[in-house]
Structure 1
Amino acid sequence: MPNSSSDSAGFRPAGTRCFPLNDDQREAAQAWVEFGARTPSKPRQASSVVLLKDSPSGLQTFLTYRPGGSPLGTVAFPGGTIEPADDDVTDWVGPSPVAWAKALGTDDSSLAKRHVVAAIRELFEETGVLLAGPDASSLVENISGTEWMRARESIATQDSTFAALLDRYGLALRTDLLKPLSHWTSPDFAHRRFDTRYFAAARPINQEPARLTSKGVWGRWASAADILADRTNTALGDEIGQPATIGLTLGELVVPGVEIILEKIAAARGCIAYLNHKRPINEYRPKLVADAQEHLSLEVPTAPMSEGGPCRER
């Protein structure tokens, strides 16, 4: 059975892509098959941001290590679940929640707003990059000191809210700086399921990402092309140096959504071209397929080098 790690950075044609399961997924999949398909658990709503910048080695993105078997992957873009306090954010510039709902392919403008707020909040929590400013034409600056790190820690532990931080500094969300990318739902057999909206944003001038003190084990800018060139070896997992990463290849560290986005970033001509590209918001729903071992199968409507024939869905 072909898998997502058999080639380096090139493009694969549209069609069915097969991704091997990691150990946690395989256990859940085996139980799903053994006991028969059941009603899947309701997925939690989540947002993730692909932060981008140009470099001599090509378009780069900021990747982080996520402990605890996150459904977003062991290595992922900054992101996390929607929280009730996200509804408290009211200062907003850029496309309206109704416009965002249309862009995200949903009729629920309240849900669209939560996804956008969660995306900007999670990006701030995990990297310190804040897509907010006093008006529609400016961004907050000088946010790398200890005061801002304490604010990030407080929001991450839910001791304070993102809305309170914005109110304190007189800031509004710059939702115009986000671009929608794709929509992923965890497979039915997963124990923990996420319904994740991926967004993209360029690194603001005068802001540089930094890991959260209490949670930041590993995170750095990475050339998507370089990461994909090493996808068949364990260089990235060994670099992170955690028990959950050592000896693992890219396909074992990231979820399929991350790997496919990395492929598209690697093929882009630069940050502006990538962000300005008109793309449909494809919804991906990975399914379990039958083979010598279980795989994830999903339809990919664009892109990279062929890896063989179709999978057979279970």
Structure 2
Amino acid sequence: MTTLPVEPRPAASLILLRDGALGGADGLELFMIERHGALRFAPGATVFPGGRVEAADHAPGWRRFWPDGAAPADLPPRVAALREAFEECGLLLTDDPPEPSRLATLRRALADGRSFADALDEAGLAPATARAVPFSRWVTPDTLTRRFDTLFFLAPLPPGQTPVMDGGEAVAGLWTTPRRILAEAEAGNRRLVFVTRMILGRLAGCADSDSALRLAEGCDLSPIQPEVVETPAGPVFRIPAGRGFHPVDTPVEKVTLG
């Protein structure tokens, strides 16, 4: 029997950005994946690539990929975000467009059971950990038995890469605008978990990737943990005010957590 609350697991997610391919006022596009319908957490949901921070993501060797000075305290979740993005959809955050043959070598090495660090060395690739900009940190409500403390990063995707879904966790991938994906969810054509919906709402006001990255540079990274609050209109999930995310109160029946 599980005793609540359980300790949230550290996790990280990478929101990759590009500009203008769909045209119109919604110039900012985000890369998202559709999760396999048989997964325990968020089955069939459309999410950003991401997952748990693993012990290997804390290895001292990752400091060699930090360009200058002492590596930041958030280096392990940065590594996890880049690793998960490549494992799930084959996109690697790099400073320069990598040769397709090197990406193929990286995929083969990971499929053969190599660690992410060893696979990168085998492929001769270096992840651009400094290009990821911390955007927001969300903690799963303490009423659930599967909880995550997730740091979300924004980063522009270098050109020259094509998504390759892993077929296990991620069964499809798409570039879309925040407003478009929110409209599809409202029409019942997409399943969005609460944190994804809130982040899309925040980014919907950004005209392009530069404005999204500027927004991230000024963000408060203290954790946001939704809590159930009883109101005269019924129970709501409430998040802290003044953090840039709206609405502050969302009726419980409209919230999907996993």
TM-score tier (shorter): 0.7 to 0.9
Matched, 1:50 2:23: no
* Per-residue Cα deviation, 1:89-113 (whole angstroms, up to 9, x for no partner): 4331336665x3xxxxxxxx3xx22
CA distance in 2, matches of 1:170, 1:266: 37
Determine if contact 2:58/2:76 at 8 Å carries over to the other structure.
Answer: yes
The structure 1 residue matched to 2:88, chosen from 126, 147, 150, is 126
Task: Tell me how far 1:131 sits from its aligned partner.
Answer: 1.9
Q: Which residue of 2 aligns with 1:79?
A: 50
Q: Which residue of 2 aligns with 1:9?
A: none
Matched, 1:206 2:160: yes
Find runs of 4+ consecutive structure 1 residues off by over 6 angstroms.
Answer: 304-311
TM-score, normalised by the number of residues in structure 2:
0.80
Choose between structure 1 and 2 for higher RCO, CA contacts under 8 A separated by at least 6 residues.
Answer: 1
Q: Unmatched 5+ residue regions in structure 1?
A: 1-30, 33-37, 101-108, 237-252
Which amino acid is the alignment partner of residue 87 of structure 1? H
The structure 1 residue matched to 2:147, chosen from 193, 201, 205, is 193
Query: Sequence identity of aligned pairs in percent?
Result: 29
Structure of larger gyration radius = 1
Which amino acid is the alignment partner of residue 198 of structure 1? F
Task: Tell me how far 1:196 sits from its aligned partner.
Answer: 0.5
Q: Which residue of 2 aligns with 1:162?
A: 116
Determine if contact 1:143/1:207 at 8 Å carries over to the other structure.
Answer: no
Determine if contact 2:33/2:49 at 8 Å carries over to the other structure.
Answer: yes
CA distance in 1, matches of 2:80, 2:169: 18
* Per-residue Cα deviation, 1:66-95 (whole angstroms, up to 9, x for no partner): 242426982210000011222344331336
The structure 2 residue matched to 1:113, chosen from 57, 65, 75, is 75
Task: Tell me how far 1:300 sits from its aligned partner.
Answer: 4.3
Q: Secondary structure at the match of 1:259?
A: helix
Distance 1:144 1:94, change over 3 A: closer
Q: Which residue of 1 aligns with 2:31?
A: 62
Distance 1:300 1:52, change over 3 A: farther
Structural RMSD (CA): 3.1
Determine if contact 1:52/1:62 at 8 Å carries over to the other structure.
Answer: yes
CA distance in 2, matches of 1:309, 1:183: 19
* Per-residue Cα deviation, 1:128-154 (whole angstroms, up to 9, x for no partner): 11124xxxx645332587544333444
Q: Which is further off, 198-207 or 167-176?
A: 167-176
Q: Where do residues 94-113 of structure 1 align in structure 2 (5 Å cutoff)?
A: 94=67, 98=71, 100=72, 109=73, 112-113=74-75
CA distance in 1, matches of 2:236, 2:66: 43
The structure 2 residue matched to 1:142, chosen from 94, 97, 100, is 100
Which amino acid is the alignment partner of residue 54 of structure 1? D
CA distance in 2, matches of 1:286, 1:73: 22
Q: Which is further off, 164-173 or 78-87?
A: 164-173
Q: Secondary structure at the match of 1:65?
A: strand
Distance 1:164 1:254, change over 3 A: same
Q: Which is further off, 141-150 or 50-59?
A: 141-150
CA distance in 2, matches of 1:138, 1:218: 25
TM-score, normalised by the number of residues in structure 1:
0.67
Matched, 1:267 2:205: yes
Distance 1:214 1:304, change over 3 A: closer
